[in-house]
């Protein structure tokens, strides 16, 4: 069982909805076409929306937990919530070869769609997360046996092994990671920022609100049907190393929640061993953590940053999605490429503030993208560095 006080009540969710309505950030997005033949020598990264990314290099593919269901505030307040299989099937790209699915914490906006993806699409993938993840997903059966055989908590590894590296000057030969295929995964103890704040006239700002915290006393025996059932647990970040033999070919840093200095920072000896080529950062929580994302960017010094989780996880995308289409005009059948999709920003966070801080913190030569869902980027080896090879959305240079 779990602590009963964690379940939200309808008035709290209603307040969440009212305040969110006044904090709207909107973008117009066009769904890009994927490259016809992605290079096997390049790193391919596709933003799936919320905290989801698909990363490929050669024969190795990693998925960070995607969410397509995006239950609305009304659904959260008034009814049970379940994965929307139709949206997942329509929007998730091919992931048959994905070897691992990573989730940094166990909130619904990161973990709720993972069971369907793992059972029906990424059927060979091992799912990695915190201690709550296997408790929440362990009851699910698959045609190939219980899903629990593919669920691995990395929380103990993060606390007992990776944390012990912080006092080491050199950790070149230390094995405080898990490996799947040619990919090494280093879990890092991190933190989740509050979700929103409330200020009352003549009273001032109340304590920040942090929803759905906590841990499970025991596995619930079934998948949660309310968002409060997806308890947070310990937040983790990850270093993801795509290996070329004994050498790290491409290093990715991934977080799925905003943090404060120094939570989520990798041990310095790991960064001394190999710099971060690409940081996948969470835009959510920027307005509640003044050091985010500046502190983590200054620590990692990545040449490239892709910002995710900037868009709302409370508004499901509408099918069919806009795509280039043919339509009669002026007596001729012409192609129209201006089909657009409106994407709402994450409540209580100003993505422009995130971008402003990020641009200021980037190292010389660094650049970032805050892409629409479905946008992709390819990185190619350029001497000792990786450079942008091709991309579907604008990249912005740092400001020094």
pLDDT digits (tens, 9 = 90+) for 309-366: 999 888 899 887 766 566 565 666 666 555 678 888 887 778 888 999 999 999 999 9
Closest CA to 362 of 288, 302, 287, 279: 302
What is the C-alpha separation between 188 and 167, in angstroms, rounded?
Answer: 15
List of domains in the chain = 8-32+44-169+176-397 (3.60.15.10)
> What pLDDT sits at residue 329?
58
* Contact criterion met (CB below 8 Å) for 147 and 137: yes
Tens-digit pLDDT profile for residues 114-170: 999 999 999 999 999 999 999 999 888 676 667 888 999 999 999 999 999 999 999
Indicate the burial class of 375 (C-beta count within 10 angstroms; 0-12, 13-18, 19 or more): buried
Average pLDDT over residues 296-312: 95
SS3 385: strand
Q: What is the DSSP letter of 351?
A: H
For residue 215, the model assigns a pLDDT of: 82
Task: Kindly report the pTM of this predicted structure.
Answer: 0.89
* DSSP 8-state symbol, 120: I
Residue 224: pLDDT over 80: yes
Q: CB–CB of 72/62 below 8 Å?
A: no
């Amino acid at each position: 069982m779990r602590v009963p006080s964690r379940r939200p009540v309808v008035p709290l969710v209603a307040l969440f909805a009212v305040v969110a309505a006044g904090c709207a950030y909107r973008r117009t997005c066009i769904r890009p076409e994927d490259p016809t033949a992605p290079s096997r020598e390049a790193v391919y990264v596709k933003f799936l929306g919320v905290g989801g990314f698909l990363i490929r290099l050669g024969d190795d593919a990693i998925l960070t937990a995607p969410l397509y269901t995006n239950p609305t505030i009304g659904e959260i307040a008034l009814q049970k919530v379940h994965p929307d299989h139709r949206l997942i099937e329509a929007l998730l790209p091919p992931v048959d070869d994905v070897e691992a699915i990573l989730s940094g914490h166990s909130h619904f906006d990161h973990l709720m769609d993972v069971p369907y993806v793992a059972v029906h699409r990424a059927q060979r993938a091992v799912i990695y997360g915190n201690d709550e993840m296997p408790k929440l997903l362990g009851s699910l059966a698959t045609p190939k046996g219980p899903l629990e055989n593919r669920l691995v908590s990395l929380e103990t590894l993060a606390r007992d092994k990776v944390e012990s590296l912080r006092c080491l000057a050199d950790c070149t030969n230390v094995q405080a990671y898990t490996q799947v295929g040619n990919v090494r995964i280093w879990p890092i103890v991190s933190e989740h920022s509050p979700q929103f704040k409330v200020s009352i006239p003549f009273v001032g700002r109340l304590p920040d609100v942090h929803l759905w915290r906590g841990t499970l006393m025991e596995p619930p025996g079934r998948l949660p049907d309310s968002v409060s059932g997806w308890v947070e647990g310990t937040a983790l970040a990850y270093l993801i190393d795509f290996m070329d033999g004994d050498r790290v070919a491409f290093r990715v840093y991934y977080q799925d929640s905003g943090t404060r200095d120094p939570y989520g920072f990798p041990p310095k000896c790991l960064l001394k061993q190999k710099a971060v080529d690409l940081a996948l950062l969470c835009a959510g929580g920027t307005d509640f953590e003044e050091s985010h994302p500046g502190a983590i960017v200054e620590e990692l010094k990545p040449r490239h940053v892709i910002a995710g989780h900037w868009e709302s996880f409370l508004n499901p995308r509408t099918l069919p999605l806009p795509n280039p289409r043919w339509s009669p005009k002026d007596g001729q059948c012409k192609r129209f490429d201006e089909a657009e999709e409106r994407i709402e920003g994450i409540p209580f966070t100003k993505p422009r503030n995130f971008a402003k801080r990020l641009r200021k913190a980037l190292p010389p030569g660094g650049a970032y993208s805050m892409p629409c869902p479905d946008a992709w980027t390819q990185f190619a080896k350029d001497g000792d560095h990786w450079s942008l090879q091709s991309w579907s959305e604008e990249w912005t240079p740092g400001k020094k």
